[in-house]
Chain A
Amino acid sequence: MIDTKKLTVSSSPQIHSADSTAKIMWTVVLSLVPAGIWGVYIFGMSALVVILVSIIAAVAAEALLGLINKEVTVNDGSAFLTGLLVGYNMPPQVPLFIPVVASLFAIVVVKWSFGGLGANWMNPALAGRVFVFFSWTGPMTKWLLPITGGADAVTGPTPLGSLKSAYFATSLNVSGPIEYLQSEGLPVTYKDLFIGNIPGSIGEVSALLLLLGALVLVARKILTWHVPVAYIGSFAFLIWMFGGVRMGTGLFSGDVLFHILSGGLMLGALYMATDMATTPLTAKGNIIFGIGCGFLSFLIRIFGSLPEAVSLSIIVMNIFVPVIDRYTKIKRFGYGEVKEKSGE
């Protein structure tokens, strides 16, 4: 018979969907693994070391702060995920102190000084990445060429990085980025961009695997379409309209596919701009947020001097989240079409 003293008596609801923060975090981690394996495959073991060092630094910082605050939060997977994303945003041969600093900045400054999980107002991994980018720009912009096949590591510019120099050339006679890179002796195809056979940050290169991972998250209802579609859609539209201007080919001639598949756009739009804590709460808000990211990414990429478009766009938009949340009201039940305040 029942020992009634052991019964739980709590407020309704008495059952739960069984979802948890930890489950969400670890699922996101798993969905990112293929893209990381690809990075290690094409850039070599140094990439793996960078990823591991980033994770260890982030998790250690989280554990230590948890100990100080008497709050065990390491198991929830969020610090692991932050560390993983920091690693994915690093060049494959970066000196190891850089990812350590980035992870520590992410966890200690951006996340915990505002109250830990859920209370940070800027994406920790991106803030960490931007911090070390501006502190050590040299090593943060030194890229490895893919070394599949075991060839010696050779450095070179990313497709996007070298494209930047085209914008400052006095005369150009090319139809678009692909042809320009060809003329510069850095041939790259759309297929290379799509599967990730290009220099770049460890986890950002394979658009294909990032998309597959994101599809898993959509199926598991962890990711909704709003931010990625609004971000990539608005970005693509603006690139199509104005992307050709700097190449000298005029309006409506931008190479959308090249720009979507290069740089950190996929990783950013699918994984960084969709961090729950630093994005708006409502679907409408997320669409506005995504369009803002798309607009800023376009602006910095085409008219700015830095290739660092995605990270900056997202953390700038993070700052706007409270404002977006404030002005995207949900339609409440029982208030008709006209919005009115209760109590009048």
Chain B
Amino acid sequence: MSKFKTFPKGGVHPPDNISGTGNRPIRNASLPTHAVIPMSQHIGAPAECIVNVGDTIEEEQLIGKSTGYVSVPVHSSIPGKVVEIKEIYLPHGKKSQAVVIELGGEFKRMGKPQKQSDWTGLSEKEIIERISSMGLAGQGGATFPTHVKLVLPEGKKCDYLLVNAAECEPYLTSDQNMILEKAEEILEGLKILKKLLSPREIIFAIESNKPEAAGVMAAAVEKSDLDVRIDILKTKYPQGAEKNIIKSCTGKEVPSGKLPLDIGMVVLNVETVYSVYEALVFEKPLVERVVTVSGGAVKAPETFRVKIGTTYRQLLEECEGLIEEPAKVISGGPMMGFGVFDLDTPVTKGTSGILFLTKKEVKAAKQTSCISCGRCIQACPMGLNPSDINKHSLNFLFEEAQDMGLLDCVECGSCAYVCPAHIPLVQSFRMGKNQLRAIMMQKKGAK
């Protein structure tokens, strides 16, 4: 029995591969000569571009305005001139409008002494407005607009504020390295969130394979007047999945089809908390983030602080290039990240890592028949039967698949990771979910 907290069922243990980049200082990546800034960097409606080709842009200038409640604005990460507005493919395969800015002119913040503003006088509404106007979206990878997560529904109270620093995806060390450098700032961010949400308890959750970061955080909490419970979680994927980390820390289960907020939980990625701090204390919009560039094909893996809009190509060059031909280039972690086919893809608000994986690391193989070994069932953290759902989905029995819990699938990939027949289960579930949505729309239309 492990002494660390964890969720009871499922999960897998891929090698974490964090020794190359973990526990090292974050390096500032050099400025992009051309920043490619997409209007859609979050879940929800894309921002609306408000600049034109030829416009001169200041650092942190608003270039895309929010188009609804579930939408966030976009700011320029560098000063310069708009040279092009074009359509690009984002890693998840969807198209987005993007503004290309050529570096030029003066930085108003970077390299200058920063003046702090006092947030303690702000009302709750003003804090939310600031977070929304600074373009904050969850930086763990799902990029849900932060302000939406922080508005408690009428009558609901926040029991726990949970800081997700599990970083359960292999290779990624952005969160852990950030904690080493910015523990106090993160705590300041938590004070802001405490004022906003008045939670009963604040929990800081981190996996047991990052003892240094956990130690630094504990020391910072010790010195601070803020009460934070530090939970050390068992190193197991997907420990950082929202519903699972809630279960690990509090024993509570978010009911199927509900949000954490429905049971009084607010879960934020640790880097998002840092961005809240920067937004409130420096009025700084989300224009840079920490990115782990790693993988067996990279010569010198490193964790970088990167201006949004910097291309993958440039970051690879900063890692001194490749030592081997990669089989896959991944945006995000290897378990839930996206395969990329264009190195000119830019870093966005949700890019936690860029991985150049060798054939040996990918371990792809030809698909064979299901032998009913049941390993996918053992691996599923949601208590589903992936084998059965897959078979129904592939036979177009989507509503039956829904009864079996298709919509509860969080697409963590644990089932497909362990499948000895190499069946692309997650791909099948994504297809099934899309078909199911179409069926539901049709039914709605028929009524």
Measured CB to CB, the residues of A under 8 A from B are: 1-4, 6-24, 73, 76, 78, 115-119, 276-283, 330-336, 341-343
Chain A residue nearest to B254 (CB atoms) is A334
Residue pair A11, B424 in contact (C-beta under 8 Å): yes
Q: Is the interface of A mostly helix, strand, loop or mixed?
A: loop
Least Cβ–Cβ distance between B220 and chain A, in angstroms: 33
Measured CB to CB, the residues of B under 8 A from A are: 9, 12, 14, 170, 243, 247, 253-258, 321-322, 325-330, 334-343, 355-357, 361-365, 368-374, 377-378, 381-385, 387-388, 402-403, 405, 407-408, 411, 413-414, 416-418, 420-422, 424, 426-427, 430
Residue pair B339, A20 in contact (C-beta under 8 Å): no
Partner of B365, one of A20, A115, A276: A20
With the chains together, A23 CA to B417 CA distance in Å? 15
Least Cβ–Cβ distance between A325 and chain B, in angstroms: 8
Residue pair A15, B361 in contact (C-beta under 8 Å): yes
By Cβ-Cβ distance, the 6 closest A-B pairs, closest first, are A13-B413, A11-B427, A9-B339, A334-B256, A332-B383, A281-B374
Residue pair B424, A2 in contact (C-beta under 8 Å): no
Residue pair A7, B326 in contact (C-beta under 8 Å): yes
With the chains together, A4 CA to B381 CA distance in Å? 34
What are 16 A-B residue pairs whose CB atoms fall within 8 Å in the complex? Answer: A3-B325, A4-B342, A6-B325, A10-B364, A12-B339, A15-B334, A15-B363, A16-B417, A19-B418, A23-B420, A24-B373, A118-B370, A276-B371, A332-B382, A332-B405, A335-B256
A2 in contact with B343 given A16-B363, A332-B256 (CB within 8 Å): yes
Chain A residue nearest to B370 (CB atoms) is A118
Residue pair A7, B329 in contact (C-beta under 8 Å): yes
With the chains together, A341 CA to B402 CA distance in Å? 10
With the chains together, A330 CA to B379 CA distance in Å? 12
Residues of A within 8 A of B377 (CB): 281-282, 330
Residue pair B374, A8 in contact (C-beta under 8 Å): no
Residue pair A333, B374 in contact (C-beta under 8 Å): no
Residue pair B405, A336 in contact (C-beta under 8 Å): no
Chain B residue nearest to A119 (CB atoms) is B369
Interface centre among A2, A6, A14, A342 (most CB of B within 10 A): A14
With the chains together, A232 CA to B343 CA distance in Å? 58
Chain B residue nearest to A341 (CB atoms) is B403
Residue pair B383, A11 in contact (C-beta under 8 Å): no
Chain B residue nearest to A5 (CB atoms) is B341
Residues of A within 8 A of B338 (CB): 12
Residues of A within 8 A of B325 (CB): 2-3, 6
Residues of B within 8 A of A12 (CB): 334-339, 411, 413, 416, 426
Least Cβ–Cβ distance between A85 and chain B, in angstroms: 15
Chain A residue nearest to B342 (CB atoms) is A4
Least Cβ–Cβ distance between A165 and chain B, in angstroms: 41
A342 in contact with B256 given A15-B170, A23-B420, A331-B383 (CB within 8 Å): yes
Partner of A10, one of B256, B356, B427: B427
With the chains together, A342 CA to B408 CA distance in Å? 10
